[in-house]
């Protein structure tokens, strides 16, 4: 029996996705663009189950309750591919899970690769991205390393809604993202529920969609030119737009903690006082990600580590493509 090991990484959006036009097929309301981070890693082992049910272990804990996102994903995949195999899965993250660090992106991308190998499906990367998308939207992007564009597509079945690599991880060797991990806890409102709440209730949602879409092409130019000032400015604008949408949702979606808000102010002040290119993005969680150049990593580490609310600081370069191998 084949046992497969898959190594994947979270993909953090520079141009965000927040909201679905079809919640069962996980089709987004907009295009998004993200970078896959090498320092955050998901290692997943998958093989056929020796019994008639799926056996799932996440971060060393067996999932006993069948009502969990991994089992639902496996059921959806079995349905959509017409297979009935059960799987034995053991997956571990080297970073907090379900906390706003895109663990679902790397987790579901790993499962899509793993199922493809265990069942010998011979799917293309586009098809694997589509499969991963059924677990979590951003997982469509984690199928690739480097800079990744997830196109919303037009087809009602979602066949044209997958992610592609636009530049690989080596394209910009000195680009770094520092991740200030501020808690090990899971978030209170999962993204899946939060984003649909924003579509329904935020008065700024449709405006953000239009503005964000118009940033996408300039973002691709910024990457092409390795222009960190432009990339950082656009990433911050896009994140601020998403944050405004979240904070204007009803009930309010405030994913940030006092530590996050302090760090955001601190980074802006470091940038202004020291003329350092350091730009902020966050997701649906309290961790702060700082886009910067490798030459500034140690200065930023020193400055940010002074904050008592920071649990860990990790600086990451961009990841290569996922690794899929027989074990
Ligand atoms: O992949 P999901 O469905 O958990 O949503 C993630 C959404 C954000 O991380 C907030 C933004 C993004 O584009 O990754």
Q: Residue 19 C-alpha to ligand 1 middle, in angstroms?
A: 9
Q: Which atom of ligand 1 is nearest to the CA of 102?
A: 9
Residue 17: CB within 6 Å of ligand 1?
A: yes
Rounded distance between C-alpha atoms, residue 199 and residue 128, angstroms: 28
pLDDT at 188: 82
146 Cβ inside 6 Å of ligand 1:
no
pLDDT at 60: 95
Q: Say if ligand 1 is within 6 A of residue 37 CB.
A: no
Q: In this predicted structure, what is the pLDDT of residue 321?
A: 98
| Ramachandran assignment for 79, one of left (phi > 0), alpha (psi -120 to 50 degrees), beta (any other) | alpha
Q: Which residues pair with 5 in a beta bridge?
A: 45, 325
* Three-state SS annotation for the chain: CCCEEEEECCEEEEECCCCEEECCCCEECCCEEEEEECCCCEEEEEEECCCCCCEEEECCEECCCCCCHHHHHHHHHHHHHCCCCCEEEEEEECCCCCCCCCHHHHHHHHHHHHHHHHCCCCCCHHHHHHHHHCCCHHHHHHHCCCEEEECCCCCCCCCCCCEEEEECCCCCCCEEEEEEECCCCCCCCCHHHHHHHHHHHCCCHHHHHHHHHHHHHHHHHHHHCCCHHHHHHHHHHHHHHHHHHHHCCCCCCCCCCHHHHHHHHHHHHHHHHHCCCEEEECCCCCCEEEEEEHHHHHHHHHHHHCCCCCCEEEEECECCCCEEEEC
Q: Give the Å distance between the CA of 49 and the centre of ligand 1.
A: 30
The pTM (predicted TM-score) of the whole model is 0.96
Ligand 1 within 6 A of CB of 18: yes
CA distance 277 to 291: 8
Report the nearest-CA residue for atom 8 of ligand 1: 283
Q: How far apart are CA 219 and CA 57, in angstroms?
A: 39
| Ligand 1 in reach of 36 Cβ (< 6 A) | no
Residue 159 is predicted with a pLDDT of 97
CA–centroid distance, 135 to ligand 1, in Å, is: 12
Per-residue pLDDT of the chain (327 residues; tens, 9 = 90+): 689 999 999 999 999 999 999 999 999 999 999 999 999 999 999 999 999 999 999 999 999 888 899 999 999 999 999 999 999 999 999 998 887 888 999 999 999 999 999 999 999 999 999 999 999 999 999 999 999 999 999 999 999 999 999 999 999 999 999 999 999 888 888 999 999 999 999 999 999 999 999 999 999 999 999 999 999 999 999 999 999 999 999 999 999 999 999 999 999 999 999 989 999 999 999 999 999 999 999 999 999 999 999 999 999 999 999 999 998
Q: Which of 137, 192, 212 to mutate to test the pocket of ligand 1 (most atoms within 8 A of CB)?
A: 137
Contact (CB, 8 A) for 118 and 74? no
């Amino acid at each position: 029996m084949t046992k497969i090991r898959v190594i994947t990484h979270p993909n953090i959006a520079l141009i965000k996705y927040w909201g679905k036009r079809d919640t069962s097929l996980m089709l987004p309301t907009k295009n998004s663009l993200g970078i896959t981070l090498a320092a955050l890693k998901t290692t997943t082992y998958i093989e056929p189950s020796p019994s008639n049910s799926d056996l799932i272990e996440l971060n060393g804990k067996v999932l006993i309750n069948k009502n969990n996102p991994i089992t639902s994903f496996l059921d959806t995949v079995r349905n959509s591919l017409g297979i009935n195999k059960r799987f034995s899965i053991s997956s571990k993250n080297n970073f907090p899970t379900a906390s706003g660090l895109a663990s679902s992106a790397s987790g579901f991308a790993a499962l899509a690769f793993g199922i493809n190998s265990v069942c010998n499906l011979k799917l293309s990367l586009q098809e694997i991205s589509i499969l991963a998308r059924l677990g979590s939207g951003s997982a469509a992007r984690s199928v690739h390393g480097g800079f990744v564009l997830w196109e919303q597509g037009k087809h009602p079945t979602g066949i044209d809604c997958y992610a592609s690599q636009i530049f690989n991880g080596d394209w910009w060797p000195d680009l770094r993202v520092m991740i200030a991990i501020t808690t090990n806890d899971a978030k209170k409102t999962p993204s899946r529920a939060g984003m649909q709440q924003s579509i329904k209730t935020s008065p700024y949602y449709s405006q953000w969609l239009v503005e964000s879409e118009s940033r996408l092409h300039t973002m691709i130019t910024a990457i092409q030119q390795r222009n960190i000032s432009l990339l950082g400015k656009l990433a911050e604008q896009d994140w601020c737009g998403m944050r405004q949408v979240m904070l204007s949702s009803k009930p309010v979606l405030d994913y940030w903690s006092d530590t996050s808000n302090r760090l955001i102010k601190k980074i802006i002040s470091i940038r202004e006082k020291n003329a350092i290119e350091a730009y902020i993005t966050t997701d649906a969680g309290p961790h702060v990600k700082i886009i910067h150049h490798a030459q500034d990593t140690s200065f930023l580490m020193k400055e940010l580590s002074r904050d008592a609310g920071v649990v860990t600081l990790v600086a990451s370069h961009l990841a290569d493509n996922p690794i899929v191998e027989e074990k």
